[in-house]
Amino acid sequence: MQKDETLDAKGLMCPMPIVKLARKFKEMPSGKVLELISDDVGSKEDVPAWCKNTGHQLLEMKEEKGVFYYYIKKV
Amino acid sequence: MEKLLFVSTHSNDDPERATIPFVLGLTALSQGKDAVVLLQIDGVWMARKGFAALVREETFPPALDMLNQFLEAGGRIMVCGPCAKKRKLEAADLIEGAVIVNAPTIIKEMGEAHNVVSY
């Protein structure tokens, strides 16, 4: 998956991954793709819900050895 | 903008109840909503300088972090005047950003809020 920026949120508990994500998106231009990395299991629900609530596009999510990778396009 | 009002009535007597309003308030702000936390009864202790550092619920990030991030993200903290007075808390005892309010202001904020949730 092509990405423009990466936000490493490993070690952060709910709700901090999406709080950091929201802050990051404020400074990113529309159309860019952010890779969000989290090891918080709750992010599996939080990130898709946040994207749905805010209108941003979750392009892909995957898990590797307990770490979750999300690719989100700023709309 | 949609506004949510969280009423918090606990502090270190129930760290989970004391932390959740700030977690949800911060989440609401991250989704572009307005969020207010109203501290009442023993919840007012959360606004006392240094007190939130004593409140820790393992399920969530530290309450102090949540409170600071909530304010930093634009959230507002209101402190019930009579509740603060009963506990001998004055404006000078409170963290920056916490505002003492009385019933008319509370009712105004509740009336404007899309939802009011009490913990």
CATH number reported for the structural domain that contains residue A34 in this entry? 3.30.110.40
Interface test with A, best of B24, B27, B64 (most A CBs within 10 A): B27
Closest CA to B32 of A29, A25, A31, A3: A25
User: What is the C-alpha separation between B44 and B66, in angstroms, rounded?
Assistant: 16
**B33-54 burial: b if 16+ Cβ within 10 Å, else e:** bbbbbbbbbbbbbbbbeebbee
Q: Which residues neighbour B93 within 8 Å (Cβ) at sequence distance 6 or greater?
A: B48, B49
Query: DSSP string of B54-117?
Result: G---TTSS-HHHHHHHHHHTT-EEEEEHHHHHHTT--GGGBPTTEEEE-HHHHHHHHHH-SEEE
pTM here is 0.91
- Give pLDDT tens digits for B75-92: 999 999 999 999 999 999
pLDDT of residue A1: 84
Q: Which residues neighbour B115 within 8 Å (Cβ) at sequence distance 6 or greater?
A: B4, B5
Give the number of domains in chain A: 1
| pLDDT (mean) for A7-17 | 96
Neighbours of B101 (CB within 10 A): 18
Whether the per-residue pLDDT at B46 is higher than 90: the answer is yes
| pLDDT (mean) for B95-102 | 97
**Which domain covers residue A64, as residue numbers?**
5-73
User: What is the C-alpha separation between B101 and B6, in angstroms, rounded?
Assistant: 15
CB < 8 Å to A18, chain B: 27, 30
- Give pLDDT tens digits for B63-78: 999 999 999 999 999 9
State the smallest CA–CA distance between residue A53 and chain B in angstroms.
Answer: 7
CATH superfamily entry for domain B3-118: DsrEFH-like (3.40.1260.10)
pLDDT of residue A6: 98
Contact B86, B106 (CB under 8 A): no
User: Is A14 among the residues known to form the active site?
Assistant: yes
- Give pLDDT tens digits for A15-46: 999 999 999 999 999 999 999 999 999 999 99
pLDDT of residue A13: 94
User: What is the C-alpha separation between A23 and B96, in angstroms, rounded?
Assistant: 22
Considering A14, A16, A37, A59, which one is annotated as catalytic?
Answer: A14
Which phi and psi angles does B35 have, rounded to 5°?
-140, 135
The Cα diameter of chain A in Å comes to: 31
ipTM: 0.84
* Angle at the Cα of A53 from the Cα atoms of B17 and B65, rounded to 5 degrees: 35
CB < 8 Å to B32, chain A: 54
